[in-house]
């Protein structure tokens, strides 16, 4: 059996286990990592390297930084202000939180944005007496959508420019705010979708304990008199956000420094810091890193791409090519990192566009947007994984709510992208 076949079969089994949740998601993820070694797809020394991956470290650090906002009462105070500004209705809160997340994610890490806002959402829901399940997933989706607005909204956005330069087309590279032409429309469309359709596909009150949320809110209020701790915590969180925005220091190092400062300044105790880390999230994401690596090294990802391209045949329309690559990127990005899916498909998109005599910019933009539409899986993108535990979500919750959002993004992209970036400019 070839490595490609082994990897594809493993991916199929993992997908089935993720969907059915016969065993816990984190167990499936770590089991898949071990299976990669047993099948000879990944060396033994790389199986658990995901636990030391910079993104996993970023998760852990931001869990602690986010928890410090809650333990000092900062999150509760912010939540109260958000409630006063937006009101206590589900729709107004959803709009407010999604807009904040999208704007922050356009310039900051969408992972860091989500991690920082989770305690705010929990506090808002406690104050407004709403289930956090109705707000956390929209928050994660908004963070993902906001990352499509600028060149740095999500680091993989820059892969298109790298691919264009490698192909000898540096003059076609995208500008910093050029992404906004499609990023803003799909963000607006995504918010409207969640307001009028998506929210009805979310779980309601599963494992939701209003008394527990109120107790946590009261605890925050009890600490609220310690204004000095709130100021310190606020300064730490602000410094972390600014540092991430300036990108002078690696994100995971910024997160760890913020977590250490939160403990050293007494914003939360050492035990509270340990307890704040969602280990399901850590193991879930860490386990999928070797799987993504196996897809790349085994050639399974390329095989999927090649098979799809072969199905097009003949001389397909650029619109068909763009739509197919969009769908392919969407499927791949649900189970592998958007960085990997973009890196895999960008060269394919350029080659296809060249064969058709078309500009590659429209095709590349479709791939970039599609690879950021990892809304139908809790492991497709870090923000989705972050809200999995706090929201008590199941795999199918992402499929139900995220599937429709992906379709909305596809429709908007097919309409907007060819207008902004014509396939045959000048004709």
| CA pair distance 187, 126, nearest whole angstrom | 27
| CA pair distance 292, 392, nearest whole angstrom | 25
Lowest mean pLDDT among 109-118, 152-161, 330-339: 152-161
pLDDT digits (tens, 9 = 90+) for 215-249: 554 554 446 446 788 888 888 888 887 887 676 78
The residues near 127 (Cβ < 8 Å, ≥ 6 apart) are: 76, 79, 80, 83, 88, 217
Mean pLDDT over each residue of the chain, to the nearest integer? 81
**pLDDT band at residue 308 under the 50/70/90 scheme:** low
Q: What are phi and psi of 138, to 5 degrees?
A: -55, -35
| CA pair distance 100, 28, nearest whole angstrom | 34
**pLDDT band at residue 427 under the 50/70/90 scheme:** low
Instruction: Give mean pLDDT, residues 400-412.
Output: 93
Q: Please give the model's pTM, rounded to 2 decimal places.
A: 0.70
Residue 407, pLDDT score: 94
| CA pair distance 10, 67, nearest whole angstrom | 36
In sequence order, what E strands does 28-88 have?
Answer: none
The residues near 372 (Cβ < 8 Å, ≥ 6 apart) are: 144, 145, 147, 148, 154, 156, 333, 338, 381
Please indicate whether residue 295 or residue 12 has the higher confidence score (pLDDT): 12
pLDDT digits (tens, 9 = 90+) for 100-109: 889 878 876 6
Residue 92, pLDDT score: 86
| CA pair distance 377, 379, nearest whole angstrom | 5
pLDDT digits (tens, 9 = 90+) for 44-79: 888 888 787 777 787 788 788 878 877 887 766 776
Query: 285 is written with which tokens?
Result: 């994401």
56 half-sphere exposure, CB direction, 13 A CA radius = 17
Query: 397 is written with which tokens?
Result: 């919750």
Neighbouring C-beta atoms of residue 311, cutoff 10 Å: 9
């Amino acid at each position: 059996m070839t490595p490609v076949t082994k990897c594809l079969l493993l991916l199929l089994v993992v997908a089935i286990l993720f969907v059915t949740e016969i065993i816990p998601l984190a167990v499936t993820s770590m089991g898949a990592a071990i299976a990669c070694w047993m099948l000879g797809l990944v060396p033994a020394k790389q199986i658990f390297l995901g636990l030391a991956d910079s993104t996993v470290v970023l998760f852990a650090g931001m869990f602690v930084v986010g928890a410090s906002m809650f333990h000092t009462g900062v999150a509760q105070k912010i939540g109260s202000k958000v409630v006063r500004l937006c009101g206590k209705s589900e729709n107004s809160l959803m709009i407010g939180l999604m807009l904040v997340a999208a704007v922050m994610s356009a310039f900051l890490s969408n992972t860091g944005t989500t991690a920082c806002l989770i305690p705010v959402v929990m506090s808002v829901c406690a104050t407004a007496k709403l289930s956090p399940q109705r707000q956390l997933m929209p928050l994660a989706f908004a963070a993902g959508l906001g990352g499509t607005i600028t060149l740095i909204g999500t680091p993989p956005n820059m892969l298109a420019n790298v691919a264009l330069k490698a192909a000898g087309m540096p003059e076609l590279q995208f500008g910093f705010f050029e992404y906004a032409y499609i990023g803003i429309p799909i963000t607006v469309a995504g918010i409207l979708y969640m307001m009028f359709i998506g929210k009805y596909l979310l779980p309601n009150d599963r494992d939701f304990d209003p008394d527990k949320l109120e107790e946590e809110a009261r605890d925050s209020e009890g600490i609220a008199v310690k204004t000095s701790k709130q100021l310190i915590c606020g300064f730490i969180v602000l410094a972390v956000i600014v540092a991430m925005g300036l990108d002078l220091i690696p994100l995971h190092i910024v997160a760890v420094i913020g977590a250490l400062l939160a403990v050293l300044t007494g914003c939360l105790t050492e035990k509270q810091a340990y307890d704040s880390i969602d280990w399901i999230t850590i193991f879930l994401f860490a386990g999928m890193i070797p799987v993504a690596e196996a897809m790349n090294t085994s050639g399974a990802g390329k095989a999927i791409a090649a098979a799809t391209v072969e199905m097009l045949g003949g001389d397909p329309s650029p619109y068909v090519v763009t739509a197919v690559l969009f769908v392919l990127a969407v499927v791949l990005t649900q189970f592998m990192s958007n960085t990997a899916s973009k890196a895999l498909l960008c060269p394919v998109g350029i080659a296809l566009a060249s064969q058709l005599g078309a500009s590659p910019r429209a095709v590349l933009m479709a791939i970039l947007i599609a690879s950021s539409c990892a809304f139908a899986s809790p492991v497709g993108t870090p923000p989705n994984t972050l809200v999995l535990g706090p929201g008590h979500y199941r795999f199918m919750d992402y499929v139900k709510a995220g599937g429709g959002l992906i379709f909305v993004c596809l429709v908007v992209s097919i309409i907007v992208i060819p207008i902004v970036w014509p396939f045959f400019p000048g004709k």
